[in-house]
Amino acid sequence: MKLNLRVPIFFFLFLLSTDYSISQEYNLGVVHFPPFSVIDEDNNLAGLFKDMTKVLDHSGIKYKIDGYPLKRIYRGLKTGDINIFIGVKDKALDRFVLYSNIGLITIDLSVFTRGDVVMPQNYRDLKKKKFIVLRGYTYGGLINFLKNPANKITLEPTSNHGDALKMLKAKRADYIIDYKLPLSMSCKNIYPDCKGIYNRSLNKVKLYFLVSKRSKNAATLMKKIVNSFSILKKNGVINYESNI
C-alpha cells in the first residue's frame, strides 16, 4: 500500500512558514514622562503617547503596559524583559535594540535659568557650570558631554521636573537641562506664569520606536509597528506635530 505524503509535507511546510509573533504577548515599556506619557498606579497609560497603543492594536500585536523608571527600562531592553519602547537613539542601547527607520516626533531639549543668570549660547558655554538634571536621562547623548570631567561641569540630579524647578528657585544651581514641553508645564505650578524663568534651545531630539533584539521575531515585530504607524498617520488617526 502506497502512503500519500503530500498532505503531511504541505502541512509541515505551512507550520514552518506561519508567523506566530502576533500570538505572543509583548511588554510595552513606558516611563512616566508627562505630558508625553502618564502612568497611573494601575499601569494605565495617558498622555500624547496613548496614541501608540492604537498602533499596536492596529498591528494585531498583543501587549501589556509596564511602567518603570528609565534606568529599569534600559535594563529590560537589554535583557528582553521589555520588548517595545519609545525613546531616543542611545549608544548604550545600540547593540541591544532595533530602531524604527522613521522618527515619531522631535522634541526640544533646552537649558533653563532664572532672569538673574547669564544664558548659555552654545555647548561651549555649558562648561564649568552647575546643572540640575533628571536622574537616568541621557538627553539624546548630551549627558556624556555633561559628565565628561574635562568640561568641569557639576551635576545635581533630581527625580522630576517639579523638583528641578524648586531646586532652581532655591538657587541650588543656576541651570536646568530638560525637555521644553514637560518642564514648561511643570513651571506653572512652581512659578506664577513661569515669570522669571527663561530657556534656550540646545538641541532637537528625535524619538523612535525601539524593539529589544531579544524579543521573539524582533525584526517582524518592528516591521508591523512601523507599517501600522505609517498607515494610521497617513489616515489622520495619529496627529503629531513634527516638533514639540
Please confirm whether the linkage preceding 35 is cis (ω < 30° from 0): yes
> Residue 218, Cβ neighbours under 10 Å: how many?
18
The answer on 211 and 97 residing in a single domain is yes
What is the number of structural domains in the chain? 2
* Inside any domain, residue 139: yes
Give the range among 1-15, 82-96, 200-214 with minimum mean pLDDT. 1-15
Helix (H, G, I), strand (E, B) or coil at 20: coil
The answer on 133 and 97 residing in a single domain is no
State the Cα–Cα distance between residues 224 and 232, nearest whole angstrom: 12
Q: In this predicted model, which residue has the larger pLDDT, 12 or 135?
A: 135
Q: By residue range, what is the domain housing residue 117?
A: 107-205
The answer on 225 and 184 residing in a single domain is no
* Inside any domain, residue 229: yes
The answer on 135 and 58 residing in a single domain is no
* Amino acid found at 188: K
C-alpha distances in angstroms, 233 versus 36, 38, 241? 17, 22, 11
The answer on 112 and 101 residing in a single domain is no
Rounded mean pLDDT of 64-82?
92
Rounded mean pLDDT of 23-36?
84
Rounded mean pLDDT of 61-74?
90
Give the range among 43-47, 126-130, 198-202, 223-227 with minimum mean pLDDT. 43-47
HEC sequence for the chain = CCCCCHHHHHHHHHHHHCCCHHHCEEEEEECCECCCEEECCCCCEECHHHHHHHHHHHHCCEEEEEECCHHHHHHHHHHCCCCEEEECCCCCCCCCEEECCCCCEEEEEEEEEECCCCCCCCHHHHCCCEEEEECCCCHHHHHHHHHCHHHCCEEEEECCHHHHHHHHHCCCCCEEEEEHHHHHHHHHHHCHHHCCEEEEEEEEEEEEEEEECCCCCHHHHHHHHHHHHHHHHHCCCCCCCCEC
* Inside any domain, residue 129: yes
The answer on 74 and 46 residing in a single domain is yes
The CATH number assigned to the domain holding 128 equals 3.40.190.10
Give the range among 3-12, 101-110, 126-135, 152-161 with minimum mean pLDDT. 3-12
The answer on 130 and 181 residing in a single domain is yes
The answer on 115 and 200 residing in a single domain is yes
37 secondary structure, DSSP code = B
pLDDT of residue 129 exceeding 60, the answer is yes
Rounded mean pLDDT of 206-232?
95
pLDDT of residue 19 exceeding 90, the answer is no
pLDDT of residue 204 exceeding 80, the answer is yes
Using 50, 70 and 90 to split pLDDT, how confident is the model at 18? very low
Rounded mean pLDDT of 62-81?
92
The answer on 184 and 214 residing in a single domain is no
The answer on 99 and 217 residing in a single domain is yes
The answer on 213 and 163 residing in a single domain is no
* Mean pLDDT (the chain, rounded): 85
The answer on 135 and 93 residing in a single domain is no
What DSSP element (H or E) covers 126?
none
* Inside any domain, residue 3: no
- 166-194 tens-digit pLDDT: 899 899 999 999 998 888 877 766 666 57
C-alpha distances in angstroms, 165 versus 29, 130, 180? 27, 14, 13
Please confirm whether the linkage preceding 149 is cis (ω < 30° from 0): no
- Predicted pLDDT at 182: 83
Rounded mean pLDDT of 25-36?
86
* Inside any domain, residue 153: yes
* Inside any domain, residue 7: no
